[in-house]
Chain A
């Protein structure tokens, strides 16, 4: 199966016809916010007004992806989100608490359901086809991808629009900060991996992909496989999972031209990547990505976009700060990500 097109809204200039990370945006903060496009070109202005921010970001990235893939209506729409429509949930919940369950209006409640974005895309495209939504924390995007891949394997679909959306709100940031997820002080995002402290930088994003069963000229990359594992007991187990995944695809680690890892600048979370870099990944070019998009449960969708672009454009952008950049062809990319050391995933892509 192939990645035909992408649509990505992130803290970087990633949406629409822009050069691939040639002008990275530098931040000095512990909270990255998406750079939103001008929605007027993508969504009917009457509809934009009724949509909350995450719905706009989700629908716009989806439409952008379909346009790039010259596809009016995909055979299926599958979304993944860990937190869902937080702003709408927050509005309804806050009013309910403040007004003691009286005089409430339905709009925010209606848009708070976790399938809202997939439903809105289906509604805009007037598509009666398959529509599903996964909400499993750091596996939300991987679950949506798996559903999409299954549909292609079953011949139930020729193409599937798969996406991940998560937003940060002031409230969610305040709560997650109290859980210790983020750095106490602002950091320069380009120096994220050398802070040597706990916590990461908060992020958010919307990333959609059109997966297709058949190859078409202009495809980004071939999606060779994906594997997830939950709460590994040790780094040794994680390393074992990586080895088994490569074996199952008959790939030697030396066949990989670039490994994109999910390091997030938290000393504890990065330990597994550090050990693998000294072990199985030793000698292979590696790069992090969360300095560009921040840490969030579906951040791996941004890594998939990066990997697909590195292959399609045969380049490792300097903004990735890869461990080496020999200029050799980028034919095969491995993504290894984990969220909170609970949700681990591997994605393997190759040139078409």
Chain B
């Protein structure tokens, strides 16, 4: 196994191992501040109608919806950690490695969906009690989300291909 695969896998394993607890901690700390100071909503959602009432309840609900995007993010990091551990142990062409790659792809695709849908739901929550004509529902498609969805689809496809490669490698291991 080329040493560069082992070295980089080990470095990246440490990076995601630190991110896994670090990311939720940062989000929770930022959220804790946000719940107590609903004014952050004006910065995060600059297009809010002036009639919108900013309350601690809405702030908490908006944060909770935003936290849902954390789930696929952490899932992706978890499977990346598992994949880097396999690569660092020279287990490259194995069914487990292929499963990890597929799982990362699924997580990235779900993250793209979450980042597309959740901001619209947050706006709906914030403006639901506004007078008619001042309520907002929006869905924004950005190039970043498109690339994220494509990357997810690509990894799922590569994961399927790697399953075949792992099968062939296993077959070859049976030859002396």
Q: Do A and B bind each other?
A: no
- Measured CB to CB, the residues of A under 8 A from B are none
- Measured CB to CB, the residues of B under 8 A from A are none
